[in-house]
Amino acid sequence: MIRNLIALALGASLSLAVAASPLILTDRAQAADIKNPLVDGETWAELKYDVFGDAPILDGSAIFDLDAPYRAHDAAVVPVRVVQSGQSSERIAKLTLIVDENPAPVVAEFEFGPSMGALDLETRVRVNQYSNIRAIAETADGKLWMVGRYVKGAGGCSAPALKDMETALSSAGKMRMKVFDAIADTASVTTVAPNTKGRRQAQIMIRHPNYSGLQRNQVTQLFIPAYFVNDMSIFLGEERLIHMSGGISISEDPTFRFSFDDNGGKSFAVEATDTDGGQFGKTFPITMPGSAS
């Protein structure tokens, strides 16, 4: 479904360092004073049927939440965090991120293994015009639940890439990962030892321009063909922790920060592909404090 929507829409950096702080960079005090719930609009009625058919979608506010800035500082790099409520015992098995007004509205579809535990996932997305951002979760019982935010941002899908094309293309597929402690709000680097149960946090960055097909070459002014990471799997030991099917609305240098339950695995393995047939993979041991590669 996501590939069909992307094809329809398109028919018409490790330079960002891996930090120990969360991807959500909004001023929490200011954000608390701004209410940005979902805003009613005509787009969602048609989009909902295209993606989910006639399946009922319930209010998910008692199960999880989506955090995003009310006004985007950079519409090409909008931080989004989906967090499950501490009071919820539901297991979220799948998640779909949607930006209603984007040319390809489905940002990504995720599937999660049992060791994800209570969902806590962050990434960065493009917002092409003022729009609702929605997170639709599917729990283990097959029910669909939705939360979201209204975000003011424009031009994110057509904004020029951060790096020149030669540099971006030559480094596509390089990866870096760090593992953190997830106990405190401000994550601190910690030892992640095999066979030691506990709640952890990790961040993976894949260097890739993730061209949307709507950006122009700054020299020729011609449109750059779409070229993006369309599939990614993260394994913790033998368990596939995350599988993502992604589109053009994920920002350049795709970055994902997530919490997980240590299942005793000794390493992470990340596998990814892009729309040009590129295949990338790397294994990251998790035996050292702040392990990264």
SS (H, E, C) the chain: CHHHHHHHHHCCCCCCCCCCCCCCCCCHHHHHCCCCCCCCCHHHHHHHHHHHCCCCEEECCCCEEEECCCECCCCCCEEEEEEECCCCCCCEEEEEEEECCCCCCEEEEEEECHHHCCCEEEEEECCCCCEEEEEEEEECCCCEEEEEEEEECCCCCCCCCCCCHHHHHHCCCCEEEEEEECCCCCCCCCCCCCCCCCEEEEEEEECCCCECCCCECCCCCCECCCECEEEEEEEECCEEEEEEEECCCECCCCEEEEEEECCCCCEEEEEEEECCCCEEEEEEECCCCCCEC
What pLDDT was estimated at residue 1? 55
Question: Comparing C-alpha atoms, which of 169, 213, 254, 278 is closest to residue 11?
Answer: 213
As a whole number of angstroms, the distance between CA 243 and CA 141 comes to 19
Q: What's the pLDDT tens digit per position in 191-235?
A: 333 334 578 999 999 999 999 999 998 888 899 999 999 999 999
What pLDDT was estimated at residue 287? 62
What pLDDT was estimated at residue 186? 34
Question: Comparing C-alpha atoms, which of 96, 182, 85 is closest to residue 138?
Answer: 96
Instruction: Please give the CATH topology (third level) of the domain spanning 2-285.
Output: Immunoglobulin-like (2.60.40)
Pick out the chain residues at pLDDT < 50.
3-4, 6-21, 24-33, 183-196, 288-289
Taking a C-beta distance cutoff of 8 angstroms, is the pair 125, 251 a contact? yes
- Taking only Cα atoms into account, the Rg of the chain, rounded to an integer number of angstroms, comes to 18
Question: Comparing C-alpha atoms, which of 242, 224, 213, 227 is closest to residue 278?
Answer: 227
Question: Comparing C-alpha atoms, which of 118, 5, 121, 134 is closest to residue 63?
Answer: 118
What pLDDT was estimated at residue 40? 78
